[in-house]
Chain A
Amino acid sequence: MSLSLRHISKSFGRATIFSDISLDVAEGETVVLFGPSGTGKTVLMRIIAGVEDADNGIIMIDNRDVTNSSPDNRGVGMAFQNFALFPHMSAYENVASALTAREGSATIIQERVNSIVKLLKIDHVMGHSPRELSNGQKQRTALARALVGAPRVLLLDDPLRNVDAKLRYEMRLELPNLLRRFGSAVLYVTQDYKEAMALGHRIAVLQGSRIIQAASPIDIYERPESLIVAKLFGDPTINVLPVMPRLHGDEVIIEIDGVSISIGQYYRDAVGIEASLALRPEHLVVCSTPGANSFPVEIVAETPLNEKTVLLTRTRSGTEVLVSMPAINEGTIPLGLGFVSFDPKSVLLFDRSTERRLRYFDR
């Protein structure tokens, strides 16, 4: 393991920032630290980098205990959200600063700096001062500074946050390939779930001072362990309906507004429990006639959302259900009464009180 965190906890006064965080990042792996805004994720990065102390816990880099090592001795590279470039040095000197502490030869430093800035396409602005660079160039200079020392562990604290939308998308496409070249263990912080899914081999979801799930993007999206995780991933947000599943012969039945729908053999553990049924908007289909797995709704409004069309529908009991599909021409689906159907296999059921996902398949 390139990076190992064991039972890290930190509080400021009476506020607990996080308690008992444990995480491993392997060489060449990118783990995304995902969570709502707040200072928890940045504090964790600072603790790993060594510029802040944890209250408890151990940090290991390359099997070496660095918990008490100073930041200049940990072999870590970091890119900050607000760049943190040295204003009184040129862009070149900024990048080179990561090498000047150890490497003696100016020629070697120059070679290594030149090769990385060429890769990041900022070689032509190296003579400028940070003040003269655009946000995108500042961000890539900060990235170059973090990468040039070929660190074992790379900490990227929401580096794309302050960059314009077009450049952010471009970087999202290029970053994985770039990081793969260096083979460092990467810990990447973001609040954008699409960025998290695009960049991470695994995503660690930080919520309420703990990591509530750490898994591959697909597992997080398709098998979220708690309702919070299900709601954080997906646009539009996942639909949630209260249900109380019961058993009818061999099948599990749920009721929506008096309509019974079978969800087959799945989620037997949910029988008799007050549960929350979660349906992803893209898994729902609107039709004008009822079917095997459909419930009645009133189709209230149609809104475009990027390249999708989102229908706002309302169940008889007044719950809003969003249905999304690839963009269609406005007015194709008439407003008014209709039905929403879904595939039972795609359903997610959560315990209403604990909000934890119930067991899917019992075999």
Chain B
Amino acid sequence: MDNVSPIEKVLKLAALTLILIFFMFPIFWILLMSFQTNETILRIPPSIVFEPTLSNYEALIRGKLVSTAGTLDIAFMSNLLNSVILSTSSVILALLFGVPAAYAFARYKFKLGEFIAFTLLSFRFAPPLLVLLPLSLIFQKIGLADTYIGLVWVYQLIALPLILWIVRGYFEDISPDIEHAYRIAGHGWRKTFLKVAVPLAGPGIAAAGLLAFIFCWNNFVFALILASADKQPVTVGALAFVTASGIQYGQIAAAIVLSATPTLVIALYAQRYLVEGLSLGAVKG
């Protein structure tokens, strides 16, 4: 089937280019904006050529925004730190609970197993707004409002179902004979889980963890309602750029670039590890 006509090739290329532009353009635009001052951004007609400036990044990092209305303190860096703390802790906790649970679902057939698993997944479908009001009242009562612990706990609603469902699939894909062989070789089920099942599901666990991290990082409503100023992650912190003296587009753009960078870097680094080792050839073939 090597006979692809040149017309087909050109059409394919054109289609791919269009799709690329469609998806990449907004990102490209934001990147540009982050190096422009507000005046350059709002100029009509818009021009491609401009003088790049680092003033937006400077303002964010230094924590001070100098504008026509005066100096404003920006908490961006501490927001970034909050995002890191919340996302990382949530994912670690979700992995600690989710991976063994996924193993149980994959390997042990128990009554109501499917029912429980599906219920846990359904938490992903439920609109967060549904639970937010009651949750915030409860949190106030038990003193968890505006705490890292409270937020990490709520973030499990995002991370746990994801990890459970993705990792369960990876455990199911491991041939049971491999674990049987390890048991018969004299090792108990705990060691089998840690030394055989987990390493072999490694790529899946990493993928699930990464996905959970991204979803936690991007979460807006939970943090908005259940956290106040000093615990806010970058998603909420971005609201600060809507100031009395106008919307600081340049800084927003820079903030977006800076907040997207960690997840992007992790994804690029982990991608190699995720793809490798998916077909390990220890069974016949």
Contact = CB atoms under 8 A, between A and B. Distances in A.
The answer to A–B direct touch (Cβ < 8 A) is: yes
Interface of A: 46, 49-51, 70-72, 74, 76-78, 80-88, 97-102, 130-131, 135, 138, 145, 149, 162
20 contacts: A51-B184, A71-B184, A72-B186, A77-B184, A78-B184, A82-B283, A82-B284, A83-B282, A84-B177, A84-B178, A85-B178, A85-B283, A86-B182, A87-B178, A88-B277, A130-B280, A131-B282, A145-B181, A149-B185, A162-B284
B262 interface: no
B72 interface: no
Contact of B200 (A49, A87, A130, A131): A87
B62 interface: no
A327 to B, nearest CB: 35
Contact of B182 (A77, A87, A97): A97
Given A86-B178, A87-B200, A88-B199, A72 B283 contact: no
Given A87-B200, A88-B199, A149 B186 contact: yes
Contacts of A149: 185-186
A83 to B, nearest CB: 6
Contacts of A46: 180
Nearest to B175: A84
A208 B208 CA distance: 46
B182 A51 contact: no
A49 B180 contact: yes
Given A46-B180, A49-B180, A86-B181, A131 B280 contact: yes
B283 A51 contact: no
A87 to B, nearest CB: 3
B194 interface: no
Given A80-B177, A88-B200, A51 B183 contact: yes
B124 interface: no
Contacts of B183: 50-51, 70-72
A88 B203 CA distance: 12
Given A70-B188, A87-B277, A102-B186, 6 more contacts: A50-B184, A85-B283, A86-B178, A87-B281, A101-B185, A149-B186
B122 to A, nearest CB: 29
Contacts of B282: 83-87, 130-131
A46 B280 CA distance: 24
Nearest to B187: A101
A84 B200 contact: no
B281 to A, nearest CB: 4
B133 interface: no
Interface of B: 175-178, 180-189, 191, 196, 199-200, 277, 280-284
Contacts of B175: 82, 84
A137 B181 CA distance: 17
A100 B185 CA distance: 9
Contacts of B186: 72, 98-102, 149
Nearest to A131: B281
A51 B180 contact: yes
A149 B199 CA distance: 24
- Ranked nearest first, the 10 interchain pairs of A and B with the lowest CB-CB distance are A87-B280, A87-B282, A101-B186, A131-B281, A84-B177, A130-B282, A71-B183, A98-B185, A51-B180, A85-B282
Given A83-B283, A87-B200, A131-B280, A49 B177 contact: no
A175 B160 CA distance: 51
Contacts of B189: 70
Contacts of B199: 88
The interface centre, meaning the residue of B176, B177, B181, B184 with most chain A CB atoms within 10 A of its CB, is B184
A77 B277 CA distance: 28
A200 to B, nearest CB: 22
A131 to B, nearest CB: 4
Given A130-B281, A131-B280, A72 B187 contact: yes
A136 to B, nearest CB: 11
Contacts of B281: 87, 130-131
Contacts of A81: 284
Contacts of A130: 280-282
Q: Which of B200, B282, B284 counts the most A-chain CB atoms under 10 A from its CB?
A: B282
A74 B280 CA distance: 29
Nearest to B192: A72
Contacts of A71: 180, 183-184
Nearest to A97: B185
A80 B177 CA distance: 8
B185 to A, nearest CB: 4
Contacts of A98: 185-186
B279 to A, nearest CB: 9
Contacts of B188: 70, 72
B185 A84 contact: no
A84 B181 CA distance: 7
B184 A72 contact: yes
B283 A84 contact: yes
B3 to A, nearest CB: 35
Contact of A84 (B180, B187, B191, B277): B180
B280 A80 contact: no
A184 to B, nearest CB: 14
| Residue from the set A97, A100, A138 with the largest chain B CB neighbour count within 10 Å | A97
Contact of B284 (A77, A102, A135): A135
B32 to A, nearest CB: 45
Contacts of B180: 46, 49, 51, 71, 78, 80, 84
A194 to B, nearest CB: 22
Contacts of A100: 186-187
